[in-house]
Structure 1
Amino acid sequence: MAIVAVFDVPGMTREQYESSAEKVAGRPGPVKSPGDWPVAGLISHTAAPTDDGWLVVDVWESEEAFREFGESILPILRDLGVPDVQPKLYPAHTVVTP
């Protein structure tokens, strides 16, 4: 079952987000497709600045795929000094893709 993972990260900067995206993709520049992720299963990724940090909303094919991704992204975020935050997970009811 698909899940929605919501990260609301007060204190995260645009620079930290962009650096984490480059490390996830393994190359300079922004992430451009689900193939940029180190594990399979990403359906969509959206990120936006907030008044006090950064918001990331991902849709994953399964909670297992998301947890596998967590093994890659958590050390990256720690290395960048991003505040520790636990994502909120929701079962997806509807997922629409192009």
Structure 2
Amino acid sequence: MPVVLVTQGPTFTQERYEEIVRRLTGGKTRLETPADWPAEGLLTHIAGEGEHGFRVVDVWESEEACRRFGDRLTPILEETGVKEELEMYSAHTFVSA
């Protein structure tokens, strides 16, 4: 079952997001194709500035795939000063065009 992972909060800024992407991809500041993402199991990745700050929404094929990526991501979040807890929940519905 797909799971959704949401990252948002006052310490999660666009600048920190771009630094995280650089660290995960070996230098890119933008993800442009699925091949740019350094983890298996990602179905969708969306990032942008919302009314309440910068937000990333990912959909993963399974909780296991999401947690494997989280093992890699968590130290980078800590190193870049992101303090928010990531929100993960099971997707009720997932439709892809």
TM range (shorter): 0.7 to 0.9
Identity of aligned residues (%): 42
RMSD: 1.7
- Displacement of 1:72 in angstroms is 1.1
Aligned residue in 2 for 1:89: 88
Equivalenced residue count is 97
TM alignment of 1:1-98, pairs within 5 A:
1-51=1-51, 53-83=53-83, 85-98=84-97
Q: Distance in 2 between matches of 1:55 and 1:2?
A: 19
In the alignment, is the contact (CA less than 8 A) between 1:11 and 1:54 conserved in 2? no
- Displacement of 1:29 in angstroms is 2.9
Letter in 2 for 1:2: P
TM-score using structure 2 length: 0.85
- Displacement of 1:66 in angstroms is 0.4
TM-score using structure 1 length: 0.84
Q: Which runs of 5+ in 1 are unaligned?
A: none
Q: Which runs of 5+ in 2 are unaligned?
A: none
In the alignment, is the contact (CA less than 8 A) between 2:41 and 2:62 conserved in 1? yes
Which has the higher mean CA deviation after the structures are superposed, 53-62 or 42-51? 42-51
